[in-house]
Structure 1
Amino acid sequence: MNDDLHAGGARLLADIGGTNARFALERAPGRIEDIETLACADYASLVDAVRAYLARHPAEGVRHAVIAIATAVDGDFIKMTNHCWEFSTRAAREALGFDTLLVLNDFAALAMSVPGLPASELVQVGGVKAAPDGVIGIVGAGTGLGVAGLIPSNGRWNVLQSEGGHMAFSPCDAREQAILGYCWTKWPHVSSERLVSGPGLATIHEALVHIDGASSAVLTPAQVVERALDASDPRCVEALDLFCGMLGTVAANVAVTFCARGGIYIGGGVVPRLKEWFARSRFRSCFENKGRYASYLAQIPVYVIHSPYPALSGAAAMLEQHLLDAQAQGQSQSAEHRHAHA
């Protein structure tokens, strides 16, 4: 084995969303290679997707793996919210022949990547300066809506996992209230994720067509964004601007809930594609529209993450800490055993 390899060989990293599964190998600390994106719909199960990736990127003796996945992680059984995959962590680990299979929420992994992100991969949208010892909030819209927190403690960062994307949607004006009313005709509970997500963009546009009594073809999220960015369709422009404002409200709720003086970081697949358009949108005005807490929110900076695969590096860091903690626990138990038999 080469000296620059991890003890125990390369480690498998995965960031799995409702649409795509991104895989990589960490062959040495911080050396993430062979990144490949697979369409979740092309594989019947997580195990099938992992096997397909490893068949294309052979790595001798992969023993440890981490899966960051877009769903709540609680216990052995995992069922995705926005895709059909479900599995037992123990059974998947045994089927793949790994010693370790750590499964965690995808936004927990994204959160853990934040302290190591270079300034060149962040774009600030308003606010002042982050408090270096402050709690950090993470929000991101993709196939779903992810939320997480990052809490400093004794020189380490602790991730607060969350399913905050499923909090009830909160309209901030009459137009958004009308959109909520339309959504209530489709679902008994309207979460923020129903609107503040990729699929949510299409729902917002659909709602506007209905509210205005207009006629329009059903548009995909990509079509809504494209027509908004080139200003070819006023209703798409409004839909995207409303989306950005709704995201501002969600981000503000996260900021006051966590007292996120360390800043709010925006990830996910939608916002980075908007580039300068996002900074000109109603995002920041809605973020600061908090009544008596408007001045508090005005101080908190928001950063859009432009790193291509940040959750993979965060997942790698969490796997490393998991293995170190397990090693320390093993050494402690061994010492207690020796003491008991001394």
Structure 2
Amino acid sequence: MDPPRLLADIGGTRARLGLEVAPGRIEAVALHSCDDFPGVDALLSAYLRDRGNPPVRHAAIAIANPVAGDAVRMTNRDWSFSVSGLERALGFSRLVVMNDMVAMAMALPRLAPEELHKVGDAGEPCTGVKVLLGPGTGLGVGALVPISAAAGGDVPETWMPVASEGGHVSFAPADETECRLLAVLWRRFSHVSAERIVSGTGIPLLHSALCAVNGVPEEPAATAEDVVARARADDGSTAAQCLSVFSAMLGGIAGNLALAYGARGGVYLSGGVIPRLGERFDVAAFRRRFEAKGRFAAYLAAIPVWRMAAGDDVALRGAAAELDRVLQSARTA
């Protein structure tokens, strides 16, 4: 392997950086507040300077933002940069910038068994397309496609990530209650996306709309944590119903993505929302809606769903894998 490779996972609030000093070995991991830096160049420069400016030639950035072309402008922070300009300014031979869900997807084949928890009992692991769905602040979507297999075996040797903005597809109600919820939300938004309500920021909005549908006085909930706390305090509350409806909606979206991508390799759930829900994540409602696709119910029943329980460095691991894939492709081109 060449000299240390710089890896960065940049979100709207915080950035995690590390150095890959050997294949799969990431050291000097540091977490920084984005508020402390005027831009990505200053962030990366400060990190390298604090570590004695190691001779980095190759670097990868996973960023919570669509990446298309050379110009990158963050949607949740007033940062923008040119990929080629940043590459030149920091003296890199190659800088690869990717959507954070691409990095997460590239990490999937490298996760240890203990980093995955099965959601429900249905489905068994098999080789094929993998779909990643990440309810966090928003609703991230990505996929991983097997390209080639090792000689004499069925296990993929090469994977190709697929970037997606699938969280912004139109929300599709699946029962009468959800139709009424959508009607309430349409009063506020011309387009109600899946992310609008099936995300951490969407849970309070979903709770508010459900109060309107049920005809009960609304108890304002500023955060998803507020809704979870009320649900835990009262099983019969609108908050408890909200989290069950949320779980079912997430299952429906996951099922749609599994069909769209032909995800026989499984659906993987990431993001911070499900851990925060804890026991209030309704696994039965999720799996029931996941499979409720009419003539394709049996097809979906065979697809496993996993919840990722990997460490905070999983995006760095995936960014390292994608950087390695890009460099390998360049060598064989």
What is the distance in 2 between the residues matched to 1:301 and 1:86? 39
Quick check: 2:48–2:54 contact (8 Å CA) kept in 1? Answer: no
Please give the TM-score of this superposition, normalised by the length of structure 1: 0.86
Residues 220-277 of structure 1: CA distance to partner in whole angstroms, max 9, x if unpaired?
1232234434558822222222222111111000101111111101111212343444
Matched residues, number: 322
In the alignment, which of 217, 237, 240 is matched to residue 237 of structure 1? 240
Task: Return the letter of the residue paired with 1:145.
Answer: L
Corresponding residue for 2:329?
A: 325
Residue 35 (structure 1) aligned with residue 35 (structure 2): no
What is the distance in 2 between the residues matched to 1:225 and 1:281? 18
Structure 1 unmatched runs, 5+: 1-5, 330-342
Decide whether aligned partners of structure 1 residues 24 and 238 sit closer, same or farther in structure 2, where only a CA change above 3 A counts. farther
Segment drifting more, 163-172 vs 38-47 = 38-47
Residue 138 (structure 1) aligned with residue 132 (structure 2): yes
Residue 90 (structure 1) aligned with residue 84 (structure 2): yes
Task: Return the letter of the residue paired with 2:80.
Answer: E
Corresponding residue for 1:274?
A: 277
Please give the TM-score of this superposition, normalised by the length of structure 2: 0.89
Task: Return the letter of the residue paired with 1:289.
Answer: A
Corresponding residue for 1:202?
A: 204
Quick check: 1:193–1:200 contact (8 Å CA) kept in 2? Answer: yes
What is the distance in 2 between the residues matched to 1:253 and 1:292? 13
Say which SS state the counterpart of residue 263 (structure 2) adopts. Answer: coil
Residues 170-189 of structure 1: CA distance to partner in whole angstroms, max 9, x if unpaired?
11122222222222222211
What is the distance in 2 between the residues matched to 1:285 and 1:216? 29
Decide whether aligned partners of structure 1 residues 48 and 226 sit closer, same or farther in structure 2, where only a CA change above 3 A counts. farther
Corresponding residue for 1:129?
A: 124
Say which SS state the counterpart of residue 154 (structure 1) adopts. Answer: strand
Quick check: 1:241–1:281 contact (8 Å CA) kept in 2? Answer: no
Decide whether aligned partners of structure 1 residues 196 and 327 sit closer, same or farther in structure 2, where only a CA change above 3 A counts. same
What is the distance in 1 between the residues matched to 2:285 and 2:43? 40
What is the distance in 2 between the residues matched to 1:158 and 1:290? 28
Shift of 1:196: 1.5
Identical residues among aligned pairs (%): 44
What is the distance in 2 between the residues matched to 1:53 and 1:242? 43
What is the distance in 1 between the residues matched to 2:88 and 2:102? 24
Shift of 1:320: 1.2
Map 1:90-109 onto structure 2 (within 5 A): 90-109=84-103
Task: Return the letter of the residue paired with 2:124.
Answer: K
Segment drifting more, 224-233 vs 158-167 = 224-233
Corresponding residue for 1:337?
A: none
Map 1:248-263 onto structure 2 (within 5 A): 248-263=251-266
Residue 68 (structure 1) aligned with residue 78 (structure 2): no
Residue 25 (structure 1) aligned with residue 29 (structure 2): no
Corresponding residue for 2:154?
A: none
Decide whether aligned partners of structure 1 residues 33 and 71 sit closer, same or farther in structure 2, where only a CA change above 3 A counts. same
Map 1:291-306 onto structure 2 (within 5 A): 291-306=294-309
What is the distance in 2 between the residues matched to 1:195 and 1:246? 9
Shift of 1:157: 1.1
Structure 2 unmatched runs, 5+: 150-157
Say which SS state the counterpart of residue 201 (structure 2) adopts. Answer: helix
Decide whether aligned partners of structure 1 residues 282 and 57 sit closer, same or farther in structure 2, where only a CA change above 3 A counts. farther
